[in-house]
Amino acid sequence: MRKTPLVLLAILAAVATSCSSGDTTTATTTSQAQPTGASPGSASGSEPGAPGTASAKPDCAADYLARFTQREKLAQLLTVGVTGAADATNVVRTEQVGGIFVGGWTEQALLADGQIGQVTAAAKVPLMVTIDEEGGRVSRVKDLIGAVPSARVTAQTMTPEQFHDATLTRGKALKDLGVTVDFAPDVDVSSQPDDSVIGDRSFSDDPAVVTRYADAYIRAMREVGVGTVIKHFPGHGSGSGDSHTGAVRTPPLDQLQTVDLAPFRALINSGSGVMVGHLDVPGLTTPGIPASISPEVMSLLRNGTGYGAAPFQGVIFTDDLGGMAAITSRMSIEEAVEAALVAGADNALWITTDAVPQVLDRLEEAVSSGRLPAARVDASVLRVARYKGALTC
Protein backbone atom coordinates (compact mmCIF):
# COMPACT_ATOMS: atom_id res chain seq x y z
CA MET A 1 0.00 0.00 0.00
CA ARG A 2 2.92 2.35 0.61
CA LYS A 3 3.84 2.15 -3.11
CA THR A 4 0.51 3.45 -4.30
CA PRO A 5 1.23 7.20 -3.75
CA LEU A 6 4.50 6.87 -5.66
CA VAL A 7 2.72 5.25 -8.61
CA LEU A 8 0.06 7.94 -8.55
CA LEU A 9 2.68 10.69 -8.48
CA ALA A 10 4.42 9.11 -11.46
CA ILE A 11 1.19 9.03 -13.45
CA LEU A 12 0.39 12.63 -12.59
CA ALA A 13 3.87 13.72 -13.59
CA ALA A 14 3.51 12.01 -16.96
CA VAL A 15 0.16 13.69 -17.59
CA ALA A 16 1.53 17.11 -16.65
CA THR A 17 4.20 16.95 -19.32
CA SER A 18 1.70 16.56 -22.14
CA CYS A 19 -0.13 19.44 -23.82
CA SER A 20 -3.91 19.33 -23.95
CA SER A 21 -5.14 18.53 -27.43
CA GLY A 22 -8.22 20.72 -26.99
CA ASP A 23 -11.50 20.06 -28.78
CA THR A 24 -10.68 17.71 -31.64
CA THR A 25 -13.87 18.63 -33.39
CA THR A 26 -12.59 22.14 -34.00
CA ALA A 27 -8.89 21.57 -34.54
CA THR A 28 -7.62 21.50 -38.12
CA THR A 29 -4.38 20.94 -39.96
CA THR A 30 -5.24 23.26 -42.80
CA SER A 31 -4.32 26.92 -43.03
CA GLN A 32 -7.88 27.89 -42.06
CA ALA A 33 -9.25 26.72 -38.71
CA GLN A 34 -12.72 27.40 -37.38
CA PRO A 35 -13.38 29.30 -34.14
CA THR A 36 -13.63 26.95 -31.20
CA GLY A 37 -16.16 29.05 -29.33
CA ALA A 38 -14.63 27.69 -26.15
CA SER A 39 -16.28 28.83 -22.99
CA PRO A 40 -14.15 30.87 -20.59
CA GLY A 41 -12.56 28.61 -18.03
CA SER A 42 -12.38 25.60 -20.37
CA ALA A 43 -9.05 24.05 -21.30
CA SER A 44 -8.86 25.94 -24.56
CA GLY A 45 -10.07 29.20 -23.02
CA SER A 46 -7.77 29.49 -20.00
CA GLU A 47 -4.90 31.95 -19.82
CA PRO A 48 -1.33 30.62 -19.59
CA GLY A 49 -0.35 29.96 -16.01
CA ALA A 50 -3.94 29.98 -14.75
CA PRO A 51 -4.70 27.67 -11.82
CA GLY A 52 -5.28 24.10 -12.91
CA THR A 53 -3.57 24.40 -16.30
CA ALA A 54 -1.03 21.82 -17.45
CA SER A 55 2.59 22.73 -16.86
CA ALA A 56 3.37 22.56 -20.59
CA LYS A 57 0.71 25.15 -21.49
CA PRO A 58 2.92 28.25 -21.11
CA ASP A 59 5.49 26.64 -23.45
CA CYS A 60 2.78 25.95 -26.02
CA ALA A 61 1.64 29.57 -25.81
CA ALA A 62 5.23 30.79 -26.05
CA ASP A 63 5.77 28.69 -29.17
CA TYR A 64 2.72 30.28 -30.78
CA LEU A 65 3.82 33.81 -29.91
CA ALA A 66 7.31 33.09 -31.26
CA ARG A 67 5.86 32.75 -34.76
CA PHE A 68 5.35 36.51 -34.94
CA THR A 69 7.38 39.67 -34.93
CA GLN A 70 6.11 42.36 -32.57
CA ARG A 71 4.45 44.11 -35.51
CA GLU A 72 2.73 40.90 -36.56
CA LYS A 73 1.47 40.34 -33.01
CA LEU A 74 -0.12 43.77 -33.15
CA ALA A 75 -1.57 42.99 -36.57
CA GLN A 76 -3.24 39.90 -35.12
CA LEU A 77 -5.34 42.30 -33.04
CA LEU A 78 -6.82 44.03 -36.11
CA THR A 79 -9.85 43.12 -38.22
CA VAL A 80 -10.25 45.27 -41.31
CA GLY A 81 -12.88 45.63 -44.01
CA VAL A 82 -11.84 44.62 -47.52
CA THR A 83 -13.11 45.44 -51.01
CA GLY A 84 -12.30 42.09 -52.56
CA ALA A 85 -9.78 39.28 -52.92
CA ALA A 86 -6.86 41.43 -54.08
CA ASP A 87 -7.27 43.93 -51.25
CA ALA A 88 -7.67 41.16 -48.68
CA THR A 89 -4.74 39.09 -49.93
CA ASN A 90 -2.47 42.12 -49.92
CA VAL A 91 -3.20 43.17 -46.34
CA VAL A 92 -2.93 39.61 -45.05
CA ARG A 93 0.30 38.85 -46.88
CA THR A 94 2.06 42.14 -46.12
CA GLU A 95 0.89 42.75 -42.54
CA GLN A 96 -0.59 39.45 -41.28
CA VAL A 97 -3.77 41.02 -39.87
CA GLY A 98 -5.77 38.70 -37.65
CA GLY A 99 -9.08 39.14 -39.46
CA ILE A 100 -10.84 40.59 -42.47
CA PHE A 101 -14.38 41.93 -42.55
CA VAL A 102 -16.84 41.32 -45.38
CA GLY A 103 -19.22 44.27 -45.69
CA GLY A 104 -21.95 45.38 -48.03
CA TRP A 105 -19.32 47.06 -50.24
CA THR A 106 -17.19 43.90 -50.59
CA GLU A 107 -17.19 42.15 -53.98
CA GLN A 108 -19.40 39.10 -53.53
CA ALA A 109 -17.04 37.02 -55.65
CA LEU A 110 -14.71 36.92 -52.64
CA LEU A 111 -17.11 34.43 -51.06
CA ALA A 112 -19.31 33.34 -53.95
CA ASP A 113 -16.45 32.22 -56.21
CA GLY A 114 -14.23 30.73 -53.53
CA GLN A 115 -11.62 33.48 -53.79
CA ILE A 116 -11.35 33.48 -50.02
CA GLY A 117 -9.01 30.49 -50.32
CA GLN A 118 -6.20 32.59 -51.79
CA VAL A 119 -6.63 35.06 -48.94
CA THR A 120 -6.43 32.50 -46.15
CA ALA A 121 -3.42 30.89 -47.85
CA ALA A 122 -1.49 34.15 -47.35
CA ALA A 123 -1.91 33.96 -43.55
CA LYS A 124 0.71 32.25 -41.40
CA VAL A 125 -1.98 31.33 -38.83
CA PRO A 126 -5.74 30.86 -39.31
CA LEU A 127 -7.47 34.06 -40.40
CA MET A 128 -10.80 35.28 -39.08
CA VAL A 129 -13.19 35.88 -41.98
CA THR A 130 -15.88 38.00 -40.37
CA ILE A 131 -19.27 39.38 -41.35
CA ASP A 132 -22.25 40.98 -39.61
CA GLU A 133 -24.99 38.73 -40.92
CA GLU A 134 -27.87 39.31 -38.51
CA GLY A 135 -30.76 38.79 -40.91
CA GLY A 136 -33.45 41.34 -41.66
CA ARG A 137 -31.97 44.64 -42.87
CA VAL A 138 -28.44 43.74 -41.73
CA SER A 139 -27.63 41.02 -44.23
CA ARG A 140 -24.49 41.05 -46.40
CA VAL A 141 -24.97 37.78 -48.27
CA LYS A 142 -28.73 37.40 -48.63
CA ASP A 143 -28.25 37.19 -52.40
CA LEU A 144 -26.04 34.15 -51.84
CA ILE A 145 -27.79 32.29 -49.01
CA GLY A 146 -31.26 33.84 -48.96
CA ALA A 147 -33.03 36.40 -46.82
CA VAL A 148 -34.39 35.78 -43.31
CA PRO A 149 -36.63 37.89 -41.07
CA SER A 150 -35.34 40.45 -38.60
CA ALA A 151 -34.66 39.44 -35.01
CA ARG A 152 -37.87 41.08 -33.83
CA VAL A 153 -40.02 39.25 -36.38
CA THR A 154 -38.20 36.01 -35.62
CA ALA A 155 -39.05 36.22 -31.91
CA GLN A 156 -42.69 36.93 -32.79
CA THR A 157 -43.08 34.04 -35.24
CA MET A 158 -40.71 31.23 -34.16
CA THR A 159 -39.89 29.38 -30.97
CA PRO A 160 -36.27 29.50 -29.78
CA GLU A 161 -35.72 25.88 -30.88
CA GLN A 162 -37.20 26.57 -34.32
CA PHE A 163 -34.82 29.50 -34.55
CA HIS A 164 -31.94 27.24 -33.47
CA ASP A 165 -32.73 24.79 -36.26
CA ALA A 166 -33.06 27.54 -38.86
CA THR A 167 -29.76 29.02 -37.70
CA LEU A 168 -28.03 25.66 -38.17
CA THR A 169 -28.91 25.82 -41.86
CA ARG A 170 -27.84 29.44 -42.20
CA GLY A 171 -24.65 28.90 -40.23
CA LYS A 172 -23.69 25.97 -42.43
CA ALA A 173 -24.25 28.16 -45.50
CA LEU A 174 -21.99 30.87 -44.05
CA LYS A 175 -19.30 28.35 -43.23
CA ASP A 176 -19.48 26.89 -46.72
CA LEU A 177 -18.81 30.39 -48.09
CA GLY A 178 -15.68 30.65 -45.93
CA VAL A 179 -17.03 32.82 -43.10
CA THR A 180 -15.60 31.90 -39.69
CA VAL A 181 -17.02 34.63 -37.41
CA ASP A 182 -20.42 36.34 -37.47
CA PHE A 183 -20.76 39.61 -35.55
CA ALA A 184 -24.15 38.49 -34.25
CA PRO A 185 -26.48 38.08 -32.44
CA ASP A 186 -27.51 41.57 -31.41
CA VAL A 187 -28.51 41.27 -27.74
CA ASP A 188 -29.61 44.87 -27.30
CA VAL A 189 -32.95 45.15 -25.52
CA SER A 190 -35.14 47.66 -27.31
CA SER A 191 -38.70 48.81 -27.85
CA GLN A 192 -37.68 51.49 -30.35
CA PRO A 193 -39.30 51.65 -33.82
CA ASP A 194 -38.28 49.00 -36.32
CA ASP A 195 -36.32 51.40 -38.50
CA SER A 196 -34.28 53.00 -35.69
CA VAL A 197 -30.59 52.14 -35.37
CA ILE A 198 -31.36 49.06 -33.26
CA GLY A 199 -35.13 48.72 -33.66
CA ASP A 200 -36.02 45.40 -35.28
CA ARG A 201 -32.44 44.18 -34.87
CA SER A 202 -33.46 43.54 -31.24
CA PHE A 203 -35.35 40.36 -30.48
CA SER A 204 -37.50 42.06 -27.85
CA ASP A 205 -37.90 44.70 -25.17
CA ASP A 206 -37.88 41.82 -22.67
CA PRO A 207 -34.30 40.82 -21.67
CA ALA A 208 -35.39 37.23 -20.97
CA VAL A 209 -36.71 36.87 -24.52
CA VAL A 210 -33.55 38.39 -25.96
CA THR A 211 -31.45 35.95 -23.94
CA ARG A 212 -33.40 32.87 -25.04
CA TYR A 213 -33.21 33.67 -28.76
CA ALA A 214 -29.59 34.79 -28.62
CA ASP A 215 -28.68 31.58 -26.81
CA ALA A 216 -30.37 29.54 -29.54
CA TYR A 217 -28.37 31.43 -32.18
CA ILE A 218 -25.05 31.00 -30.38
CA ARG A 219 -25.61 27.27 -29.83
CA ALA A 220 -26.46 26.66 -33.47
CA MET A 221 -23.53 28.63 -34.84
CA ARG A 222 -21.19 26.86 -32.46
CA GLU A 223 -22.48 23.48 -33.65
CA VAL A 224 -21.51 24.30 -37.24
CA GLY A 225 -18.17 25.89 -36.30
CA VAL A 226 -18.89 29.59 -36.80
CA GLY A 227 -17.88 32.00 -34.03
CA THR A 228 -20.39 34.49 -32.66
CA VAL A 229 -20.08 37.94 -31.09
CA ILE A 230 -22.78 39.42 -28.87
CA LYS A 231 -23.26 43.18 -29.12
CA HIS A 232 -23.31 46.14 -28.28
CA PHE A 233 -21.98 46.12 -24.72
CA PRO A 234 -23.12 47.57 -22.35
CA GLY A 235 -26.38 48.05 -24.28
CA HIS A 236 -27.43 50.22 -27.25
CA GLY A 237 -31.16 49.51 -27.11
CA SER A 238 -32.07 52.58 -25.07
CA GLY A 239 -29.42 54.86 -26.54
CA SER A 240 -30.16 58.43 -27.52
CA GLY A 241 -29.30 58.07 -31.20
CA ASP A 242 -27.21 56.38 -33.87
CA SER A 243 -23.46 56.01 -33.28
CA HIS A 244 -22.98 55.93 -37.05
CA THR A 245 -23.93 59.60 -37.15
CA GLY A 246 -22.80 60.98 -33.79
CA ALA A 247 -22.37 60.51 -30.06
CA VAL A 248 -24.88 58.25 -28.32
CA ARG A 249 -25.79 58.56 -24.65
CA THR A 250 -27.33 55.65 -22.78
CA PRO A 251 -29.25 55.76 -19.50
CA PRO A 252 -26.99 55.77 -16.42
CA LEU A 253 -25.23 52.53 -15.50
CA ASP A 254 -27.58 51.79 -12.59
CA GLN A 255 -30.54 51.91 -14.98
CA LEU A 256 -28.86 49.48 -17.40
CA GLN A 257 -28.45 46.78 -14.76
CA THR A 258 -31.82 45.03 -14.89
CA VAL A 259 -32.55 45.39 -18.61
CA ASP A 260 -29.73 46.23 -21.02
CA LEU A 261 -26.99 44.34 -19.20
CA ALA A 262 -29.11 41.27 -18.39
CA PRO A 263 -28.46 39.35 -21.66
CA PHE A 264 -24.71 39.99 -21.43
CA ARG A 265 -24.74 38.77 -17.83
CA ALA A 266 -26.58 35.59 -18.82
CA LEU A 267 -24.52 34.82 -21.94
CA ILE A 268 -21.04 35.77 -20.74
CA ASN A 269 -19.99 32.10 -20.50
CA SER A 270 -21.54 31.08 -23.84
CA GLY A 271 -18.21 31.03 -25.70
CA SER A 272 -19.22 34.07 -27.75
CA GLY A 273 -17.01 37.11 -28.20
CA VAL A 274 -18.34 40.49 -27.08
CA MET A 275 -18.48 43.69 -29.14
CA VAL A 276 -18.32 46.99 -27.26
CA GLY A 277 -20.31 49.88 -28.71
CA HIS A 278 -19.45 53.57 -29.08
CA LEU A 279 -21.66 54.56 -26.16
CA ASP A 280 -21.39 57.29 -23.56
CA VAL A 281 -22.62 55.77 -20.29
CA PRO A 282 -23.22 58.13 -17.36
CA GLY A 283 -21.81 56.68 -14.19
CA LEU A 284 -19.34 54.53 -16.10
CA THR A 285 -17.49 56.27 -18.94
CA THR A 286 -15.42 59.44 -18.68
CA PRO A 287 -17.16 62.31 -20.54
CA GLY A 288 -16.10 62.30 -24.18
CA ILE A 289 -14.66 58.76 -23.99
CA PRO A 290 -17.14 56.24 -25.46
CA ALA A 291 -17.33 52.65 -24.24
CA SER A 292 -15.28 51.21 -27.11
CA ILE A 293 -12.16 53.05 -25.90
CA SER A 294 -13.02 53.24 -22.19
CA PRO A 295 -10.83 51.41 -19.64
CA GLU A 296 -13.74 51.48 -17.19
CA VAL A 297 -16.01 49.63 -19.63
CA MET A 298 -13.35 47.06 -20.52
CA SER A 299 -12.75 46.46 -16.81
CA LEU A 300 -16.48 46.08 -16.15
CA LEU A 301 -16.72 43.46 -18.88
CA ARG A 302 -13.47 41.65 -18.13
CA ASN A 303 -13.95 41.44 -14.37
CA GLY A 304 -17.74 41.15 -14.19
CA THR A 305 -17.84 43.09 -10.95
CA GLY A 306 -20.13 46.05 -11.21
CA TYR A 307 -22.89 44.24 -13.10
CA GLY A 308 -23.02 40.89 -11.32
CA ALA A 309 -21.48 38.76 -14.05
CA ALA A 310 -18.72 36.17 -14.15
CA PRO A 311 -15.31 37.37 -15.37
CA PHE A 312 -15.03 37.34 -19.16
CA GLN A 313 -11.95 35.62 -20.58
CA GLY A 314 -13.00 35.70 -24.22
CA VAL A 315 -12.26 38.19 -26.99
CA ILE A 316 -13.40 41.79 -26.67
CA PHE A 317 -14.04 43.36 -30.09
CA THR A 318 -14.68 47.03 -30.77
CA ASP A 319 -17.45 48.22 -33.01
CA ASP A 320 -16.24 49.85 -36.24
CA LEU A 321 -13.69 52.51 -35.33
CA GLY A 322 -13.31 53.99 -38.80
CA GLY A 323 -16.78 54.62 -40.19
CA MET A 324 -18.89 55.76 -37.25
CA ALA A 325 -19.05 59.41 -36.27
CA ALA A 326 -19.25 58.63 -32.55
CA ILE A 327 -15.52 57.88 -32.91
CA THR A 328 -14.37 59.58 -36.11
CA SER A 329 -15.61 63.00 -34.98
CA ARG A 330 -13.34 62.69 -31.96
CA MET A 331 -10.11 61.12 -33.23
CA SER A 332 -8.20 59.57 -36.13
CA ILE A 333 -8.23 55.83 -36.79
CA GLU A 334 -4.64 55.57 -35.53
CA GLU A 335 -5.61 57.25 -32.27
CA ALA A 336 -8.79 55.21 -31.92
CA VAL A 337 -7.14 51.81 -32.40
CA GLU A 338 -4.41 52.64 -29.90
CA ALA A 339 -6.98 53.94 -27.40
CA ALA A 340 -9.10 50.78 -27.75
CA LEU A 341 -6.21 48.37 -27.21
CA VAL A 342 -4.76 50.43 -24.35
CA ALA A 343 -8.21 50.45 -22.74
CA GLY A 344 -8.30 46.65 -22.82
CA ALA A 345 -9.94 45.57 -26.10
CA ASP A 346 -8.44 42.51 -27.79
CA ASN A 347 -9.41 43.27 -31.37
CA ALA A 348 -9.97 46.58 -33.16
CA LEU A 349 -12.38 46.62 -36.10
CA TRP A 350 -12.67 49.12 -38.92
CA ILE A 351 -13.82 49.04 -42.51
CA THR A 352 -10.85 49.74 -44.82
CA THR A 353 -7.27 48.56 -45.25
CA ASP A 354 -5.79 51.95 -46.21
CA ALA A 355 -4.51 52.92 -42.78
CA VAL A 356 -3.22 49.53 -41.61
CA PRO A 357 0.49 50.42 -42.01
CA GLN A 358 0.06 53.73 -40.18
CA VAL A 359 -1.96 52.07 -37.41
CA LEU A 360 0.75 49.45 -36.91
CA ASP A 361 3.48 52.10 -36.90
CA ARG A 362 1.65 53.88 -34.10
CA LEU A 363 1.02 50.67 -32.15
CA GLU A 364 4.69 49.68 -32.37
CA GLU A 365 5.61 53.05 -30.94
CA ALA A 366 2.98 52.65 -28.21
CA VAL A 367 4.56 49.34 -27.17
CA SER A 368 8.12 50.70 -27.24
CA SER A 369 7.08 53.70 -25.14
CA GLY A 370 5.18 51.56 -22.63
CA ARG A 371 1.73 53.05 -23.32
CA LEU A 372 0.62 49.61 -24.54
CA PRO A 373 2.30 46.90 -22.44
CA ALA A 374 3.84 44.06 -24.45
CA ALA A 375 2.36 41.55 -21.99
CA ARG A 376 -1.11 42.93 -22.71
CA VAL A 377 -0.51 42.44 -26.43
CA ASP A 378 0.60 38.84 -25.89
CA ALA A 379 -2.47 38.07 -23.77
CA SER A 380 -4.78 39.44 -26.47
CA VAL A 381 -2.98 37.53 -29.23
CA LEU A 382 -3.53 34.31 -27.29
CA ARG A 383 -7.20 35.07 -26.60
CA VAL A 384 -7.79 35.71 -30.29
CA ALA A 385 -5.84 32.57 -31.21
CA ARG A 386 -7.95 30.36 -28.97
CA TYR A 387 -11.17 31.95 -30.17
CA LYS A 388 -10.39 31.31 -33.83
CA GLY A 389 -9.05 27.80 -33.26
CA ALA A 390 -5.40 28.57 -33.93
CA LEU A 391 -4.27 27.45 -30.46
CA THR A 392 -5.82 24.44 -28.74
CA CYS A 393 -3.43 23.78 -25.88
Instruction: Cite the active site residues.
Output: 244, 319
Q: Give Cα separations from 341 to 33, 209, 236, 293, 337 (angstroms).
A: 25, 33, 21, 8, 6
DSSP sequence for 171-225: HHHHHHHT--EE---B-----S-TTSSSGGGSS-SSHHHHHHHHHHHHHHHHHHT
Other beta carbons within 10 Å of 102: 25
Are 99 and 82 in contact, with CB atoms under 8 Å apart? no
Cα separation of 302 and 204, whole Å? 26
CA angle in degrees (0–180, nearest 5) for 341-344-349:
45
CB 43 within 8 A of CB 313: no
Report d(CA 313, CA 306) in Å as an integer: 16
Amino acid in the structure at residue 213 = Y
Quote the CA–CA distance of 54 and 20 in Å, as a whole number: 8
Helix-strand-coil percent breakdown of the chain, rounded to 5? 40, 10, 50
User: What CA–CA distance (Å, rounded) separates 373 from 318?
Assistant: 19
- Picking from 263, 284, 173, the residue whose alpha carbon sits closest to that of residue 220 is 173
Using CA atoms in the order 244, 245, 250, 256, what is the torsion angle rounded to 10 degrees?
-20
